A and B are shown apart, each in its own frame.
Chain A
Amino acid sequence: MPVARSSNVVLAVVCLVSWGAAPTMAQSGDPLAVGRKMLAEDNPGELWIEQGKTLFHQKRGPKSASLEQCNFGLGPGKLDGATTQLPRYFPDTDRVQDLESRLVTCMVQLQGFNHDDLVKRAISPAGSNGSDVEALALYITSRSNGMKMNVSLSHPKEQEMYKVGEYLFFRRSGQTDFACVQCHGAADKRIRLQDLIHMTSKQGVQEVVSTWPAYRGAHFVVRTMQWRLYDCFWQMRLPELKYASETSIALTTYLHYQGNGAVVKVPGFKR
């Protein structure tokens, strides 16, 4: 790491000399990183874990049932390590599902919640107390903390979702001509002062797959992977990505499979 850093400095000096003009901060990294690190050490997102645990065991919804019978792939109610294998193919729905779409399936089937209502409220307003789905997603993912991501593509539908996700990652459209890769295809890039994760590198993609759900400082709530994807499409000036849609699951499958081996550590902390 120090070697890489010093070569960056050399590069930076070369660039400064050859361009004659360079932004003051571009090469010296993110000046907010120190503050972010301090906040991450005392992550307010932890509070959502307890809330999610309570919601998981409580009898709720029109059917007055808990989520204890929900099968995230390892069997009903088996949560330890479950999200390390997601997204995966589920025979009962005959779909590849990520954590959040599976959660919605269970809340509809076991608890009797209305699908459209759930989806509409899944992403909470900034500054609110967060949604049930957000808290549940964090709690369930936290039960994989310390374990390695291990997504399989053994089912043809999983393979299909992976390839489709890859296609979508590079698919440019809209008035900004952006696909994901325009911002996430190179190292050490920023939009204004915000670091962009280099998702075509192993290290970058592993950071992505191991840190969501995360506490988002600017919104004062816990955000999920579904939100992250939704928000990117918003900035790209594209229409609104539907919650737990096939497109979102395809992109998540693509990223999660590549991130295999990453150790889950949630809640992450984002600016």
Chain B
Amino acid sequence: MKKTWLKWAALGTPALIAAGCATYPDQATTRQIAEKMVSEDFSAPMPTLLKRLVQDRSQQICSKIGDAKLTQAEAAEVVELARASIQYPQSGKLVGDWKAGDKLAHDGAGDRIQFGILEKRKENGGLCQNCHALAPGEINVGNVGPSLTGYGLQRGNSEAVAKLTYERIYNGWAYAPCSNMPRLGATGHLTPEQITHMVAYLIDPQSPINRKQ
């Protein structure tokens, strides 16, 4: 009996070591090494800009590796954090100027860092065109996100639609936790006023995005 145990132990120990080596580094070690690298491997003209590399709680949750799924509790936490983040414009008006929104939607610049210089502009572009189809017939549009062509035609321009649209741009994770859509308001990329213009661009019947084809 005792001998058998010894024999198994002798066989098992190397097997366990091999299994341990095969999975090296474990998740915690990987994370530790990676985070240290990120903290050392980037440069910026101002030290405060390095804070962009630091993840907030939601980004940590939303960085699942491979096909790993969010747990229900994680999804709920991201939604809760997103809801709490949403701020509305001081005017209280959620629908701005669609022409300003049109311009923003087609502006992909602002806030990038190159050759030690921060791309400083009066305001950041809205980035929409990079990923979404916009007005009918526009060719130079991306498809990472869903088409927004006819957005207002399909949904109308009620107050409820305006509010939902505003919130989905400000922090879409309140509705679709960890989606690919940047939390444009919550991360500070866009101001609340800019978002009202984008809401107008999406839902105003006069906006080119709602032109009947």
Which residues of A approach B to under 8 Å, CB–CB? 19-26, 31, 156, 159-160, 163-164, 166-168, 170-179, 182-183, 186, 188-193, 196, 200, 233-235, 237-242, 245-248, 250
Contacts and interface: CB of A to CB of B under 8 A. Distances in A.
A172 B64 CA distance: 9
A183 B143 CA distance: 10
A175 B187 contact: yes
Contacts of A245: 37, 40-42
A-B pairs, 7 with minimum CB distance:
A23-B133, A245-B41, A239-B42, A247-B41, A239-B44, A175-B187, A21-B150
6 contacts: A22-B147, A24-B137, A173-B59, A192-B140, A246-B40, A250-B37
B143 A239 contact: no
B8 interface: no
B37 A174 contact: no
B87 interface: no
Contacts of A176: 127, 182, 187, 189
A241 B41 contact: yes
Contacts of A172: 55, 59, 62-63
B66 interface: yes
Contacts, number: 167
Given A20-B154, A163-B30, A192-B129, A240 B144 contact: no
Contacts of B147: 19, 21-23, 26
A227 B4 CA distance: 59
A246 B182 contact: no
Interface of B: 21, 24-25, 29-31, 33-34, 37-38, 40-44, 49-50, 52-55, 59, 62-66, 108, 111-114, 116, 127, 129-131, 133, 136-144, 147, 149-150, 153-154, 180-184, 187-189, 213
A237 B144 contact: no
B34 A250 contact: yes
Nearest to A188: B143
Contact of A31 (B34, B42, B139, B189): B139
Contacts of A241: 41-42
Given A23-B138, A163-B25, A174-B187, A234 B114 contact: yes
Most chain B beta-carbon neighbours within 10 Å: one of A21, A25, A235: A21
Contacts of B34: 164, 167-168, 171, 250
A193 to B, nearest CB: 5
Contacts of B153: 21
Contacts of B42: 233, 238-242, 245, 247
Contacts of B111: 175, 237
Contacts of B65: 166-167, 170
A218 B129 CA distance: 20
Nearest to B173: A177
Contact of A191 (B59, B136, B144, B188): B144
Contacts of A250: 34, 37
Given A22-B149, A156-B24, A182-B144, 5 more contacts: A175-B182, A176-B189, A237-B113, A247-B42, A250-B37
